[in-house]
Amino acid sequence: MTKYKLSYFPVKALAEPIRFLFSYAEIDFIDDRFDRNDWPTIKPTTPFGQVPVLEVDGKKICQSNAICRYLAKKCGLAGKNDWEELEIDATVDTIHDLRAKIAAYHYENNGTAKAEKLEIAKELVPFYVERLDEQAKKNGGYLVGGRLTWADIVLVSLLDYLNYMATYDIIEKAENLKTIRDNVLAEPKIKMWIEKRPNTEL
């Protein structure tokens, strides 16, 4: 049987979409959460100096999104055809563009630049959220194709991290995205994961 080991900092953030998908797919994995003090030692052993890293039977691979797409194919959450896969991929990349706008502000160390990036985020975050909300409305309460796909999983599993960085609930006024959140968190296998996962702020 294939052995999976997922290595990341002891937080949800970019590893959580992968953990949600492993849980949904009912695939056992080693949830390796290393201490931040060990990062300088671990970093050079990763393919590109980044985590999360997934080890599949000893082969190391990085990139959260690429790993999510791989797992989605194993549990029926990928697209049904090339066009649906394109729609899911575009939606997931848009969610990560939204994340990048919030992160650009959150991780900026320079005071003046941080204030400038906050202004950009203040305009763009509600814009992205509103458009994604319209998309969810058109697709019957899911992001793509009127059924659960890994795009919904990525959105919901990233929300704690996005809200932590933004310091508010970014989907507060987005009724259709809130429905997606409720539905994903009510999925029995996701619910079980959330009950057993370590409790962390982000």
Residues binding its own copies (CB under 8 A): 47-50, 56, 61-63, 65-67, 69-70, 73-74, 82-83, 85-87, 89-90, 92-94, 97, 100, 108-110, 112-113, 116, 124, 127-128, 131
In degrees and rounded to multiples of 5, residue 54 shows phi and psi of -105, 130
CB of 199 vs its own copies, minimal distance in Å = 30
Rg (the chain; Cα; Å): 17
Q: Report in angstroms how near the CB of residue 63 gets to its own copies at its nearest.
A: 4
By beta-carbon proximity to its own copies, the closer residue of 49 and 146 is 49
CB of 139 to its own copies, least distance (A): 13
Closer by beta carbon to its own copies, 84 or else 160? 84
**Strands lying side by side in the sheet with 30-33:** 30-33, 4-8, 53-56, 59-62
CA distance 143 to 92: 10
Q: How far is the CB of 145 from its own copies (least distance, A)?
A: 14
Beta carbon nearer to its own copies, 40 or 188: 40
Residue 87 CB, shortest distance to its own copies, in Å, is 7
Q: What span, in angstroms and rounded, lies between the C-alpha atoms of 15 and 157?
A: 9
Q: Toward its own copies, which CB reaches closer, 46 or 179?
A: 46
> Based on CB atoms, which residue is closest to its own copies, 12 or 69?
69
Strands (E) in the chain, as ranges, are: 4-8, 30-33, 53-56, 59-62
Distance CA 76, CA 118 (A): 38
Which H helix or E strand runs over 13? none
